[in-house]
Structure 1
Amino acid sequence: MSRLPQIAPEQATPSQAELLSAVKGKLGRVPNLFRALANSPAALRGYLDFSAAIGAGEGLTAQQREIVALAVGEANGCEYCLAAHSTIGKMVGLSPEAIEAARRGEGTDEAGRAVARFAGAVLGSRGRVPDAELDAFRAAGFGDDAVAEVVAHVALNVYTNYFNNLVGTDVDFPAAAPLSAQQPDHAACAAGACSV
């Protein structure tokens, strides 16, 4: 049960209503994350503006952005984000195998593996990525724009992971299935001691 109200349109202030209407116009509905973030129109606007800006980047594909979200969501144990990004991942063409691989900090191809591993390195090292990790990401064909965008997507996903974990946002997407016994240790991942 959510620890903050999930603002319904009929309860919204004018500033909340404007933002929630924009979300509905774009997505066709208002997921609970946005309804909970609407408790602070500034927090919701910040999310929407940052998400739109980095979503328009050219360094990562839509699938690669979802790989980052899945790797970070798994490392942070965010049930809401795993459900949402598993659904969105399917919508942008990720196979179930690619979604599971991303959650494990891996990939089903070289590019997906490189993105997931680099996102995990950024998260686990708190941005203090060793040269070898950065070189490996570049060697997989990614440029400086992709480096910057991975960091931006990690930051955005940490924001929503922490928010949902704190709030206990009611999951309104199909639940992500638990990973098998090879699931990473979230505490070890946060300390940078896992492959995610």
Structure 2
Amino acid sequence: MSALPQIEPADAMGAAADVLVQTRKTLGSVPNMAKAMANSPAVLKGYLALSTALSGGVISAPAREQLALAAAEYNRCEYCLSAHTFIGSKVAKLSPEEIERARHAESSDPHVAALLALSDAIARGRGAVDDTVLKTARAAGVSDAEIAEVVGNLALNILTNYFNILADTDNDFPAVTPHEQN
């Protein structure tokens, strides 16, 4: 059972009702994470705004899903790992092999592998990375815009990972559990 109540759209009032309507328009549905985030309409609005902004960036939707999978695995967030496995498979059309690779911050695509390695280094270093990490990413063709968006995507994923872990959000996706070790 979730540690935060999940506000059903039909029962929501005021700002929570408004942002849940916006959620359905933006995402096409209202997942349990959004229902829990609606306890603070500001948090849900912030999540939607950053997610929408990054979806218009230079990193492709499949690569964003791979970044989300790597972060969820690293942070051991079952809810996000389940959600992004489902979305990665059904929407972004990632193969089961690429989904598994992403969970290890790897990809068969060298450019995506460089994005994942950069994101992983940033997460593990809490923002501090060695100059060679950036040089390696740039040598693989990662642009300055992509470097900035990797940080943005990592921030978005940490928000959702930590929120769902703390809230113990009821999983509304086929369950995928983190591997034993990161």
TM class by shorter chain equals over 0.9
**CA distance in 2 between partners of 1:81 and 1:155 (Å):** 14
The match for 1:190 is none
Superposed counterparts of 1:83-102, under 5 Å: 83-90=82-89, 91-102=91-102
Q: How far off is 1:95 after superposition?
A: 0.8
Which residue of the partner structure matches residue 133 of structure 1? 133
How far did residue 118 of structure 1 move? Answer: 0.9
Q: Who is 1:163 aligned against? A: 163
1:177–1:96 Cα change, 3 Å = farther
Matched with 1:54 is 54
Shift of the alpha carbon at 1:10?
Answer: 2.3
User: Residues 23-42 of structure 1 correspond to what in structure 2 (within 5 A)?
Assistant: 23-42=23-42
Structure 1: where are the runs of 5+ without partners?
186-196
Q: Distance in 2 between matches of 1:164 and 1:171?
A: 9
Are residues 1:73 and 2:64 paired?
no
Aligned to 1:193: none
Which letter maps to 1:7?
Answer: I
TM-score (norm 2): 0.95
Partner of 1:184: 181
SS of the residue 2:19 aligns to: helix
Q: How large is the RMSD of aligned CA atoms in angstroms?
A: 1.2
Counterpart of 1:44 in structure 2: which amino acid? L
Q: Are residue 112 (structure 1) and residue 109 (structure 2) matched?
A: no
Checking the alignment, whether the CA contact within 8 Å between 1:38 and 1:44 is kept in structure 2 is yes
Contact 1:102/1:112 (CA < 8 Å) preserved in 2? no
Given that residues 118 and 134 in structure 1 are in contact (C-alpha distance below 8 angstroms), is that contact kept between their aligned partners in structure 2?
yes
CA contact (8 A) 2:81 2:178 kept: no
The residue type equivalent to 2:81 in the other structure is L
Counterpart residue identity of residue 116, structure 2: A
Please report how far the alpha carbon of residue 14 of structure 1 lies from its aligned counterpart in structure 2 after TM superposition. 2.0
Percent identity, please: 48
> C-alpha separation between the residues in 1 aligned to 2:52 and 2:133?
28
Shift of 1:177: 5.3
- Offset, 1:105: 1.4
Pairs aligned (count):
181
Q: Take 2:97 and 2:50, find their aligned partners in 1: how far apart are those partners?
A: 29
What stretches of structure 2 of length at least 5 have no aligned partner? Answer: none
Distance between the aligned counterparts of 2:62 and 2:5, measured in 1? 32
- State how far apart, in whole Å, the 2-side matches of 1:104 and 1:70 are: 9
Cα offset for 1:184? 3.3
Partner Cα distance (2:158, 2:21) in 1: 25
Residues 32-85 of structure 1, C-alpha deviations (whole Å, 9 max, x = no match):
000000000011111111111111112x11111111111111000000000111
Q: Once structures 1 and 2 are overlaid, which stretch shifts more, 18-27 or 76-85?
A: 18-27
Partner of 1:189: none
Which residue of the partner structure matches residue 188 of structure 1? none
Shift in Å, 1:27: 2.8
Does the aligned pair in 2 maintain the 1:9–1:17 contact within 8 Å? yes
Cα distance in 1 for residues equivalent to 2:148 and 2:178: 30
